[in-house]
């Protein structure tokens, strides 16, 4: 029988110091494993939990329906009138513990974008962002608290990795978004969650088991899961090649986004340190394999950085790599992050880059910059409830809509130690032997932060 534990196998597990050495964190206060939640478990495993509590197995389905169909919050126990009163407490304690507490919520775009900073039971911080569009509603979720990949243009990468999130901690961000939309807490009237993008904090494929289990939970029909269409799900990766290959074999028809940012290894080594482990050619070969196996177009993400990677020669080189492939390019004008002097390409530069790609027959879109003023756009998530955006004076139009606790009491989960070296992350070796990369570590010189307990 599968042990019924949360599926994040190594919330603070082995990490790489960038030298290929596996080191184990010795924390003075080891983060607690997230409590088991029904979203960590298969339907059968939940039923076993109910039986172990002396309840009929179908009680687990009832609780699952409250969660995935009625979108009931963990503390709305009064709504669960179909559960006998004496069984309610034990069932909810065993299957529906509260995993995430909102630490701060900000909204912008006239209330159509909302970012929530969450605090886990062990004090780790993470963020998710809900974005409402005329034709869809998207939630951008975190797969890790922090990230160990050290991309120098990304705020998340500057803080290092705290820990992997469990399956349920990921699913909970999505269920919360579905609830917010159902209850019309966001501007724009009644809406339904249609898209989930794994583009928040963390490298999803470095937390492979929990992320793929979360995807399964999100697309399984109730009471097993939330019943979203797999077509609305996108997993974005920095290019962990063995894990990309493994994902292709999972039979999950999700869209794969590959964060390329440069067509040449020389520049990509600098922008995406893990490129020294898996260079452009290997990353793209794995992307084309994914496209072939799944029949799905791969999205090539490219942040346009002024004077760094936005020259027309690189647009040409990119077009050459992508010609004839099942791919499209998604350009992201660089979002500003604290401590980085890089800027987004000027509009004329962006237009020239787009023009050249399109002239060469490459499908190209430019991503909007939703949430910039509340530091909710791509690469700006740093789970800093005290307000990175506020300090930078970029939050004039940002309106805190709720605050579960005094925001000033919250301190950043990471100490903001800069990534000092662009060395490769080499903790992916184990993927090649068939095991996923879990809790891939920080780049050399960047301490991996133990989860600081913030309470």
Catalytic site positions: 127, 378
**Identity of the residue, 96 or 419, whose beta carbon is nearer to ligand SF4 in the bound complex:** 419
Interaction between residue 280 and ligand SAH (CB under 6 A):
no
Instruction: Give the start-end residues of each E strand in 121-215.
Output: 125-132, 137-140, 144-146, 161-164, 195-198
- d(C-alpha 105, C-alpha 172), whole Å: 16
Q: Of 71, 168, 243, 303, which lies in the binding site for ligand SAH, with binding defined by CB under 6 A? A: 303
When the beta carbons of 157 and 223 are compared against ligand SAH, the nearer one is 157
Binding of ligand SF4 by 444 (CB under 6 A)? no
* Rounded Cα gap, residues 83 and 281, in angstroms: 56
Size of the site for ligand SF4 (CB under 6 A): 12
Helix-, strand-, coil-residue percentages of the chain, each rounded to 5: 35, 15, 50
- Read off the DSSP letter of residue 305: B
DSSP string, 336-392: P-TT----BPPHHHHHHHHHHHHHTT--EEE---TTGGGT-STT-----TTTHHHHT
The smaller minimum CB distance to ligand SAH, of residues 8 and 55, is found at 8
Our finding on whether 239 is near ligand SF4 (CB under 6 A) is no
Q: What is the SS3 assignment for 393? A: coil
Candidate residues 108, 214, 240, 378; the one interacting with ligand SAH per rule CB under 6 A: 378
Q: Which of 405, 415, 382 is nearest to 105 (CA)?
A: 405
* φ, ψ (nearest 5 deg) of residue 298: -85, 140
The residue whose Cβ lies closest to ligand SAH is: 379
The phi, psi pair for 302, rounded to 5°, reads: -145, 105
x/- mask, ligand SF4, residues 254-293, rule CB under 6 A, reads: -----x----------------------------------
Q: Is 88 exposed, middle or buried (0-12, 13-18, 19+ CB in 10 A)?
A: middle
**Contact between 319 and ligand SAH per CB under 6 A:** no
CB-nearer residue toward ligand SAH: 18 or 204:
204
For ligand SF4, which stretch binds (CB under 6 A), given 53-61, 151-159, 355-363, 430-438? 151-159
The interface partner of residue 199, options being ligand SF4, ligand SAH, none and the CB cut-off 5 to 8 Å by kind, is: ligand SAH
- At closest approach, how far in Å is the CB of 392 from ligand SF4? 18
**Phi-psi label, residue 184: left if phi above 0, alpha if psi -120 to 50, beta otherwise:** left
Residue 301 binding target from ligand SF4, ligand SAH, none, CB below 5 to 8 Å by type: ligand SAH
**Binding to ligand SAH by residue 244, rule CB under 6 A?**
no
Show contacts with ligand SF4 in window 315-374 (CB under 6 A).
none
Whether cis (ω within 30° of 0) applies to the bond prior to 128 is no
Nearer to ligand SF4, 199 or 233 (CB): 199
- Two structure tokens written together for 334: 């660089």
- 236 touches ligand SAH by CB under 6 A: yes
Q: Which stretch binds ligand SF4 (CB under 6 A): 79-87, 150-158, 172-180, 406-414?
A: 150-158
Smallest separation (angstroms) from ligand SF4 to the CB of 419: 9
The answer to whether 428 contacts ligand SAH (rule: CB under 6 A) is: no
- The CA angle 124-386-390, to the nearest 5 degrees, is 140
Contacts made by residues 115-120, CB under 8 angstroms, sequence distance 24+:
115/371, 115/374, 115/375, 115/376, 115/381, 116/176, 117/383, 117/384, 117/385, 117/410, 118/173, 119/410, 119/454, 120/34, 120/145, 120/165, 120/169, 120/451
Binder of ligand SF4 out of 125, 181, 211, 238 (CB under 6 A): 238
The residues facing 129 across adjacent strands are 115, 140
Tell me, residue by residue from 167 to 206, as one string, x for binding to ligand SF4 by CB under 6 A and - for no binding: -----------------------------------xx---
How many C-beta neighbours within 10 Å does residue 19 have? 11
What's the rounded Cα separation, in Å, for the pair 2 and 290?
29
* Cβ closest to ligand SAH, residue 15 vs residue 303: 303
8 binds, among ligand SF4, ligand SAH, none (CB under 5 to 8 A by kind): none
d(CA 384, CA 375): 10
Give CA–CA dist 76/116, Å, rounded: 20
Q: Which residue has the tokens 């940012």?
A: 261
Residue 303 site contact among ligand SAH, ligand SF4, none (CB < 5 to 8 Å, cut-off depends on kind): ligand SAH
Size of the site for ligand SAH (CB under 6 A): 17
Q: Which is nearer to ligand SF4, 62 or 128 (CB)?
A: 128
Please give the residue ranges that form the binding site for ligand SF4 (CB under 6 A).
147, 149-151, 154, 156-157, 202-203, 238, 259, 379
Q: Which residues are at the interface with ligand SAH (CB under 6 A)?
A: 147, 153-154, 199, 203, 236-238, 259, 301, 303, 332, 334-335, 337, 378-379
């Amino acid at each position: 029988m599968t042990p019924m534990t949360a599926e994040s196998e190594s919330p603070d597990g082995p990490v790489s110091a960038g030298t290929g050495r596996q080191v184990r964190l010795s924390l003075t206060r080891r983060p607690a494993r997230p409590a088991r939640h029904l979203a960590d478990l298969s339907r059968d495993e939940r039923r076993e939990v109910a039986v172990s509590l002396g309840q009929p197995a179908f009680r687990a389905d009832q609780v699952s329906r409250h969660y995935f169909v009625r979108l009931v919050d963990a503390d709305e126990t009064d709504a669960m009138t179909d559960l006998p009163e004496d069984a309610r407490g034990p069932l909810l304690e065993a299957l529906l513990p509260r995993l995430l507490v909102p630490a701060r919520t900000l909204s912008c775009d006239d209330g159509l974008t909302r970012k929530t900073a969450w605090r886990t039971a062990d004090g780790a911080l993470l963020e998710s962002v809900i974005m409402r569009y005329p034709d869809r509603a998207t939630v951008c979720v975190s797969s890790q608290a922090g990230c160990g990949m050290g991309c120098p243009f990304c705020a998340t990468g500057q803080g290092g990795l705290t820990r992997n999130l469990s399956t349920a901690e990921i699913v909970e961000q999505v269920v919360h978004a579905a609830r917010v939309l159902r209850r019309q807490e966001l501007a724009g009237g009644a809406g339904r969650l249609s898209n989930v993008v794994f583009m928040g904090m963390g490298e999803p494929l470095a937390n492979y088991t929990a992320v793929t289990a979360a995807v399964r939970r999100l697309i399984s029909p109730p009471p097993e899961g939330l019943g979203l269409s797999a077509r609305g799900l996108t997993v974005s990766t920095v290019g962990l090649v063995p894990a990309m290959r493994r994902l292709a074999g999972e039979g999950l028809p999700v869209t794969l986004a590959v964060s390329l940012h440069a067509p040449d290894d020389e520049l990509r080594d600098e922008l995406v340190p893990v490129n020294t482990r898996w260079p452009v050619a290997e990353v793209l070969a794995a992307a084309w394999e994914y496209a072939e196996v799944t029949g799905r177009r791969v999205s090539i993400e490219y942040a346009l950085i002024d004077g760094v990677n936005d020259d027309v020669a690189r647009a040409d080189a990119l077009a050459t790599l992508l010609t004839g492939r099942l791919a499209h390019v998604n350009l992201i004008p660089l979002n500003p992050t604290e401590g980085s002097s890089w800027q987004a390409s000027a509009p004329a530069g962006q237009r020239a880059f787009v023009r050249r790609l399109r002239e060469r027959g490459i499908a190209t879109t430019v991503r909007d910059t939703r949430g910039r003023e509340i530091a909710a756009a791509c690469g700006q998530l740093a789970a800093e409830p005290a307000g990175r955006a506020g300090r930078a004076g970029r939050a004039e139009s940002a309106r805190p809509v709720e605050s579960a606790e005094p925001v000033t009491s919250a301190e950043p989960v990471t100490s903001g130690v800069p990534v000092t070296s662009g060395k490769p992350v080499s903790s992916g070796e184990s993927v090649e032997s068939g095991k996923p990369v879990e809790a891939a570590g920080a780049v050399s010189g960047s301490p991996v932060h133990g989860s600081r307990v913030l309470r």
